[in-house]
Amino acid sequence: MTASPSWRALYERKKTGRLTGTQRLLFESPRPEIEFYDTQQDEWQIENLAARPEYQQEIAAHYSMLKEWMTATGDFPPERRRRAGYVDRVTGVLFSLDVPPMINE
């Protein structure tokens, strides 16, 4: 992602303080633990609905489906998928070509 011309343009705008509010979300750090969007009404996934009480049942249902899928496919939890120092959304530091080791938690 960070090698793309669009990311580099956004990064340059970030350095000069010229990002829009929506563009600043790309650099948000840390990312929210849960992100939940209405992709029909919000195709760009700008408004995270995860904190709204009226979506809690739907989020729980999706999480349950995810857990079932993970069990059925032998997938492993997301926390085992993270890599130390993988992305710095605050500074916008470009990815390294080296892949850091997995975190064993």
For 54-91, the pLDDT digits (tens) are: 999 999 999 999 989 988 988 876 655 554 445 555 55
For residues 16 and 10, give the distance between their C-alpha atoms in angstroms, rounded to a whole number. 10
DSSP state, residue 96: P
pTM of the complete model beyond 0.95 = no
Q: Reduce the DSSP state of residue 83 to 3 states and report it.
A: strand
